[in-house]
Structure 1
Amino acid sequence: MLKKLLLPLLAATAHAAPLDERQSGPTVTIANGTLIGSSSQGVDNFKGIPFAQAPVGDLRLRAPRPLAQGFGTRQATQSGRACPQFFQNVDSGVLPADALGKLLNTPLLQKITNAGEDCLFIDVARPAGANANSKLPVLFWIYGGGFELGSNGMYDGGSLVRKSISLKEPVVYVAVNYRVGGFGFLGGSDLSAEGGNTNLGLRDQRLGLQWVQDNIAQFGGDPSKVTIWGESAGSISVFDHTIINGGDNTYNGKALFRGAMMSSGSIIPAAPVTGTKSNAVYNTVVNAAGCSSAANKLACLRALPYEQFLNAANSVPGILSYQSVDLAYLPRPDPADNFFSTSPEAAVNNNAFARVPILVGDQEDEGTLFSLAPAVNVTTNDQVTKYLADYFRPYNPNADRDVADLLRNYPNQPLLGQPAGSPFRTAGLNSITPQFKRLAAVLGDITFTLTRRVYLLTIQPKGIKSWTYLSTYLYGTPVLGTLHGSDILFYFGLLGDNNPITSRLQTYFLSFVNHLDPNTARGNQIAWPEWTPTSRSMLNFQAAGNQLIKDDFREAAAQDLLASQTEFVI
């Protein structure tokens, strides 16, 4: 096989500097101490702010705890360390240079420089000079990474804040670190039995939202005007926050957020944390850690040296492996705990979710990146059927039949190059293996694109104001198309603040943060209608501009997924 490219995914920067290295800068005093930040290009930054006790030692694999004491005066000019990451490999040899360049430019492939368990930090960026009287809307960012990797330190909110200033719609940007992989999403019956120690990454995020309520006013933010936004796993997390505690999104009697933006991810039907898959992952980690014979396996895991537990946690397949989006680590309902007790699709169907306006959308080719590894060995229709059925088989005895029914919506035409597959609209091009494009279409749809439509169809009768989009601006990129994660390049101005795609995306999204409507501050951009089951209005972000399209592509497959939510549980 062609050479491997090591992906120590997602970077973080060094710890805050010692106090004797302080430089003058903007200051903010909160309950736990005084923060000295930095200013650049009209933006004040306060980075590496602790919001919880370090989850180390006996606090490993436990719910986060608020800070117990103050930190005095703290230099806040560098982001805190990343939480422990899941190291992976991807085969770059199948990608043409243009596609590889697009992939390497995404934040997913930045090298980690600093990671460790003491990682629960928050970054804040605000318009320079904002103060406690400013009362600006707050954009709360949750990063993606398949619940296996990620850090707030590699997302610079400065571009978004600068754009908000230029639009005269200023916002305060907040980004939270949360535990990932086995440190944040290890499940199993043992953890569930302890009570309150499952779905730790979500609990970290929730504590971060509570920190915002308690502290953001001192930075110039309005705690009553928080919008949560995430991409990929961060987007799924945003959805999850709408159903946590049965949809009660309040803290001290006030709403933690008033709007939600989801970029590539919403409902993921998930089996319980005490189920077959979750316990299998737990047992794999316990065995790899050498704790299988311990009388108290969790005590053994908590007592391990950091590197030993990290290696054990990373002994399961990752998102860029053959197993792909059949994730080892993800939020799973814990029926013994009110925090996240119900599978997402059941929560929505049972009206157990927060009623807030939403903005939700996808990249056109969500599944290409995740099909590179499995498509090498999955090369026939029968193999595709079995491969996908294996995702659902533990909880669906009819998985083979149900997957075969779904696959009928994706014509199998290998001799023609799978023209109905993804990258979409590329005829017979990009068919690097006989089933790659077909598998990419299905994985993208069941994990992101059509699941989004199922979500909208489910909540619309409940009166939720909704807007949806599809990004196609990288159409023509070989093999990958407009791939999953490529939107980050534009949201965060990584191609320059003046990039026209960046400007268009930021304008609509910042309008939503300020007004819960992407149109209010859209300027001369086209109006973005609300999505309804009748109109199906969808904004298409193209390279050359925006246009309205109808959200009815691959409708037969969407209707099958709508009718089969309980059959496709991972």
Structure 2
Amino acid sequence: MYSALTPLKRATTTSVVIPQGTIIGSVSNGVENYGGIPFAQAPEGNLRLKPPQRLNTSLGTFDATGAGPSCPQMFFSTGGNDLLISVLGNLINTPLFQTVTDQREDCLTMRVQRPAGTKSDAKLPVLFWIFGGGFELGSPQMYDASSLISNGVDQGKPFIFVSVNYRTGGFGFLGGKEVLADGASNLGLLDQRMGLEWVQDNIAAFGGDPEKVTIWGESAGAISVFDQMALYGGDNTYNGKKLFRAAIMNSGSVVPANPVDGVQAQNIYNTVVQEAGCASAADTLACLRSADYDTFLHAANSVPGILSYTSVALSYLPRPDGKVLPDSPDVLARNGQYAAVPMIIGDQEDEGTLFSLFQSNLTNTDELVDYIWKVFFPAVDRDDVVGLVNSYDPSITAGSPFNTGILNNIYPEFKRLAAILGDMVFTLTRRIFLQTTLSANPNVPSWSYLASYDYGTPILGTFHASDILQVFYGILPNYASKAIQSYYISFVYTMDPNDGTSSDFPQWPQWKDNRDLMQFWNNKSNLLADNFRQTAEEYISAHADIFLI
């Protein structure tokens, strides 16, 4: 066994002493779990819709044997015209479901997992996970890293895994001029940042090295990773030290966004205020804070959700506020206002299919244009959206899921819409992002990939979030799972996916001179030139300043 580990004991519980108390964890299958460790005061009552307040009181002897709570979730909208989605949204908001999923406002907690028997002086590298879920849902409960940790041990590269609970939906990303004036914007990002600070203060007690932290996220978590790089204009220091040294982004980079007091965010705020019965209050934000939990939850979830007709036109997301996010993330990247660290970033080949299942009324190009214009970019000229749509081949053989001929087009504009949404939010935005960061910091390395390992899955292809099964959990122990986990674990150790990786897997070139992607299939990998759909990329890049969510 690796020298940082002591012989395993049969005990089902274990403990770690941190400055605030003794944390009792559980042991299973060679992995220790410490879930639900509070890092901030409960953000409820007067602290609802406020920046997180550090928890400085003693925890005493704290039971962390479970996975910890979830913050309030927005699985489905409780409003809108879709009866089924509305019914599901209201059902999920019931006290029974809230209890079963352990949803509560007092949710700002950490989950730490490590190889069983890790010594406090092991100084293992740390992998810090930020969950995804469209900034509407998710929790560390959903992500058990036991198999990933065991894989690291098997490779002789044990590491500490940490996941942070942060507020989502209206609890964590409510916008509006009232929120901006109160200094209460981008709360979910501030929760994540305080979680990173907790790691600096406490991870050494678990055997982790606070100077070797890699931040990793998927989807909204990946978007959050870059937001953490760009927070406060690129200041990633705490007590004079860097909070992280490397980054991994699965399916997400920058989201060009209108300001927190812009029209979209204000409309969402006004809807929440109305649904909470606060419209006539002299101080609507104070009214939202004083509303009972069920009232505020229903109001916050009454706006359109990601699993609906409006898709990735997100109701809640990080928005520039002049301080936490000084500008739109794409602008911060372009200006070099971010903490430049080595990074891995990539996408699923068919990112947009999952988000294009709800728009079956789109039967021709004009209807597709109107949908994108009215739902995503109502402030721009319609002709600008016409140009975007026209940059995509209208043939069903050209759409997503890609390379499937005439198959999988479940309604007339499905495959073209899936291609456009996947590219604008993920795939081509990633390429534009990499071009931007390469220009800003040419000596900071990056590696990029395209995942095609679920090719042939009907309708969805290699769809958004399918990497959770393949990469995070490794449920299918195929080539792709083994290769990507090996590259990632090497990266956590050395900030280079090739350094220490088995010769069974090819060298992964930096995204620099040739701008090649590593394309992962279920049984092999190959290099792929990152130049597909170039006409669309050029159009999106040229209009990045107006295509704002």
TM-score by length of 1: 0.89
Deviation, 1:75, is 1.6
Alignment partner, residue 3 of structure 2: none
Q: In the aligned structure 2, how far is the partner of 1:89 from the partner of 1:540?
A: 36
Give 1:403 shift.
1.6
Residues 493 and 499, structure 1, Cα contact 8 Å, conserved in 2: no
Correspondent of 1:181 among 162, 166, 169: 169
Asked if 1:444 is matched to 2:385, the reply is no
- 1:427 aligned partner: 405
Q: Distance in 1 between matches of 2:514 and 2:65?
A: 47
Relative distance call for 1:111 and 1:456 in structure 2 (3 A) is farther
Offset at residue 111 of structure 1 (A): 11
Task: Show structure 2 runs of 5+ residues with no match.
Answer: 1-10, 85-97
| Counterparts of 1:560 and 1:360, CA distance in 2 | 22
* Partner residue in 2 for 1:65: 53
User: Would you say 1:565 and 2:544 are equivalent positions?
Assistant: yes
In structure 2, what is the Cα distance between the partners aligned to 1:154 and 1:393?
33
Q: Give 1:80 deviation, angstroms.
A: 1.6
Report 1:528-539 matches (<5 A). 528-532=508-512, 534-539=513-518
Q: Secondary structure at the match of 1:549?
A: strand
* Structure 1 segment 372-391 matched on structure 2, within 5 A: 372-374=357-359, 376-391=360-375
Q: How does 1:110-509 map to 2 (within 5 A)?
A: 113-195=101-183, 197-335=184-322, 338-374=323-359, 376-396=360-380, 398=381, 400-413=382-395, 418-461=396-439, 462-463=441-442, 464-493=444-473, 495=475, 498-509=477-488
Give 1:450 shift: 0.3
**Structure 1: distance between partners of 2:501 and 2:523:** 17
Between the aligned partners of 2:540 and 2:377, the Cα distance in structure 1 is 16
The amino acid that maps onto 2:366 is D
Secondary structure, counterpart of 1:193 in structure 2: helix
SS at match of 1:124: strand
Deviation string for 1:352-398 (max 9, x for gaps)? 01110110000000000000112x122210111111122454443x2
Identity of aligned residues (%): 53
Contact kept in structure 2, 1:85 and 1:150, CA below 8 Å: yes
Q: Which sections of structure 1, spanning at least 5 residues, go unmatched?
A: 1-22, 94-109
Question: 1:112, CA displacement in angstroms?
Answer: 6.0
Q: C-alpha deviations, 1:177-225, integer Å up to 9, x for none? A: 1110000100100011012x11111111000000000000000100000
| 1:549 and 2:549 correspond | no
Aligned residues: 519
What is the SS of the residue equivalent to 1:322?
Answer: coil
Could you tell me whether the CA contact under 8 Å between 1:265 and 1:452 is conserved in 2? yes
CA distance in 2, matches of 1:170, 1:361: 24
1:501, distance to aligned residue in structure 2 (A) = 2.9
Cα deviation, 1:289-325, whole Å, max 9, x if unaligned, reads: 0000001111111111111100000010000111111
Q: For residues 232 and 423 of structure 1, what CA distance do their matches in structure 2 show? A: 19
The 8 Å contact of residues 77 and 302 in structure 2, kept in 1 or not, is answered as: no
Gap change, CA 1:384 and 1:448, over 3 Å in 2 = same
Q: Are the equivalent residues in 2 in contact too, given 1:378–1:435 (CA < 8 A)?
A: yes
Distance 1:481 1:341 in 2: 37
User: CA deviation digits over 1:36-68, x for unaligned, max 9?
Assistant: 112222211111111111111111100111113
Q: Which moved more, 1:266-275 or 1:385-394?
A: 385-394
Q: 1:487 to 1:451 in 2, by over 3 A?
A: same
Structure 2: how far apart are the matches of 1:410 and 1:393? 18
Conservation of the 8 A alpha-carbon contact between 1:24 and 1:36: no
Counterpart check, 1:47 vs 2:35 = yes
d(CA) in 1 for partners of 2:349, 2:173: 28
* 1:510-521 aligned within 5 A: 510-521=489-500
Counterpart contact for 2:256–2:330, Cα < 8 Å = yes
TM-score between the two structures when normalised by the length of structure 2 = 0.92
C-alpha displacement of 1:132: 2.2
Q: Distance in 2 between matches of 1:157 and 1:209?
A: 18
Give the distance between the partners of 1:494 and 1:526, measured in 2 at CA: 20
CA distance in 2, matches of 1:393, 1:88: 23
> What is the deviation of 1:25?
2.2
Q: How far apart, in 2, do the equivalents of 1:294 and 1:245 lie?
A: 33
